[in-house]
A = this chain, B = another copy of it.
Amino acid sequence: MSRPASPRFDPARERQAVLFANEIFYRAFSDRDFPAMDRIWARTASVACLHPGWPILTGRDAVMQSWRGILSGPAPSSAPIEPEVVFAGETALVVCLESLDGGKGWCAATNAFVREGGEWRMVLHQAGPAPKPAAPAPAQPPRAN
């Protein structure tokens, strides 16, 4: 009797899981919840973070130290707008606008995720100033497939 095949990577199924991980990142940011921020970042994979106007940070210690400082300060809330998931192999790249303090400012961001222990974990975040979108993003109905 053959052994069951291991679950295959299914982009359609994983897309929602990636968007959920992306939401967790922004929720942790807006709630200034350092433990949640710590959990969403990968522990095994190499990580890097490019905060707006900062030197490039590589390595988990430097990245988490930056978040500890940012989340203990007067950081704005940040919400992802119109996130798009691009799968590059089994890595997920999310690009999205970030609405800061409910639209008082805007950034554009790249968030990269890989799977660790069955969960999507962040390996890279870069954000930088972006123009205000031309029009409010329309509500997106759930996709049927």
Chain A interface residues (CB < 8 Å from chain B):
45-48, 50, 52-56, 58, 84, 86-91, 93, 95-97, 108-110, 112, 114, 123-124, 126-131, 133-134
User: What distance in Å separates the Cβ of A105 from its nearest Cβ neighbour in chain B?
Assistant: 13
Q: Chain B residues with Cβ under 8 A from A96's Cβ? A: 56
Q: Chain B residues with Cβ under 8 A from A55's Cβ? A: 108, 130-131, 133-134
Taking a contact as CB atoms under 8 Å apart, the answer to whether A128 and B50 are in contact is: yes
Main secondary structure of the interface of A (DSSP, over half): strand
**Cβ-closest chain B residue relative to A9:** B89
Q: Chain B residues with Cβ under 8 A from A114's Cβ? A: 88-89
Taking a contact as CB atoms under 8 Å apart, the answer to whether B131 and A95 are in contact is: no
**8 Å CB contact of A53 from B48, B110, B129, B134:** B129
8 contacting pairs across A/B (C-beta < 8 A): A45-B86, A55-B108, A55-B131, A86-B123, A86-B124, A88-B112, A89-B90, A110-B126
